Amino acid sequence: MTASSAIATRTNVPRTHTIRVIKLGGRAQSAPELSQLLRDAAAAANTQLVVVHGGGDEVTALQRAMGVEPVFVHGRRVTRPEDLDAVRMVLSGTVNKRLVSQGLTAGLRAVGISGEDAQLLTARVTDPTYGRVGREVRADTALLRDLLAAGWTPFISPLARDRESAEGAGLNVNGDDAAAAIAEALGADELCFVSDVPGVMEEGRTIPSLDHAAIDDLIARGVAQGGMRAKLEAALVTLHAGVNRVRIAPIAGITDPATGTTIALSDAARVATASAPLDSARSSV
C-alpha cells in the first residue's frame, strides 16, 4: 500500500457540530437533484458541510477550444505552466460559480472559494513529469472554520499555492487529495467521495464495507485500479489521521448514510462507525 499524497494541518478546536466533507465526481455535478441533496444534507441537525469539486472534462474542452491539445501521462493530466490559467478559469470560475449559483437557487447558503484563497491548500511538485501538479497537499482551514461558524456551505475548487515558490505560484491538485486534506484538517466526521458508481464494486456487486486488509487484497488482485485505487488509498490515510468515516457512494449517498461502501481501519472500527448516525457530533477534534 502506497501512502496518499494528502497531508493536513489540524487544530484542536472543541466543537459541537458534525462536519461532513463531500467530494463531487464529474457526473454528479450535472445531476438535477444535486443541489437539493446538498441543501438537505446541510440542513440536518448540527451539521456543517464542505463541498470539494473537480472539473477535468471541462478543462479539456476549454483547452481544445483554445487550440491546445491536453497531455496525459499514464492517464493523469499534465498541467504545463501555460495550462494553469485554463485550469483556474474552469475550476475556480465556471464550475465553482455554477455549483454555487445552483446551490443558492435551491436555498443553500453557498459560497465559492479556491484552494489558493487564504492559503487553504498548499502543495509541492514531487514529479516534474506532470508539470504544475501539486502533491503532499496540506490544508489550513482557518477560513473554512469561520465560514462554517457563520452558517455558510463552502464549495472549493482544487487548486493550491506552491509552498516551495517564493511567489506562491499556483498548482493543480487532485480533487480527492484536496478533499482528504481538508477532511483531515477539520477532523471531519465523514469524508464522502461521490462517485459515478454505486461504491467499490467486485463482480458487479457493491461491497458494503472494507477495512485495511480488504483494501490491500483488492489492490493486490487488481480489482481496485486507477481512480478507485487512489480513492481507497486516500481513504486509509484520512482514517489514520482521525476522520471517523469514509464512504465511496453514488449521489444518493449525500443524504443516505447506508448507501455505498463504508471504509474503516478495521472490521471492529467499521461496525462502530457505520452504526453511528451522521448527526452525532463529537465533542472535540
| Cut 0.85: pTM above it | yes
The Cα–Cα gap between 176 and 52 comes to 8
Q: What is the CATH number of the domain that holds 193?
A: 3.40.1160.10
Assigned domain for 244 exists:
yes
Assigned domain for 110 exists:
yes
Count structural domains, the chain: 1
Residue 85: φ, ψ to 5°: -65, -40
Assigned domain for 9 exists:
no
Assigned domain for 4 exists:
no
Assigned domain for 285 exists:
no
Assigned domain for 210 exists:
yes
The torsion of the CA quartet 42, 255, 40, 239, rounded to 10 degrees, works out to 0
First to last CA, the chain: 27
Assigned domain for 12 exists:
no
Assigned domain for 13 exists:
no
Per-residue pLDDT of the chain (285 residues; tens, 9 = 90+): 444 445 555 445 456 789 999 999 878 898 999 999 999 999 999 999 999 998 888 998 998 998 889 988 876 789 999 999 999 999 999 999 999 999 999 999 999 999 999 999 999 999 999 999 999 999 999 999 999 999 999 999 999 999 999 888 999 999 989 999 999 999 999 999 998 889 999 988 999 999 989 999 998 898 888 778 888 888 888 898 889 899 999 999 999 999 999 998 865 444 444 444 454 333 222
Question: What single DSSP character describes residue 221?
Answer: T
Range of the domain at 123: 18-274
Residue 168: CB atoms within 10 Å: 14
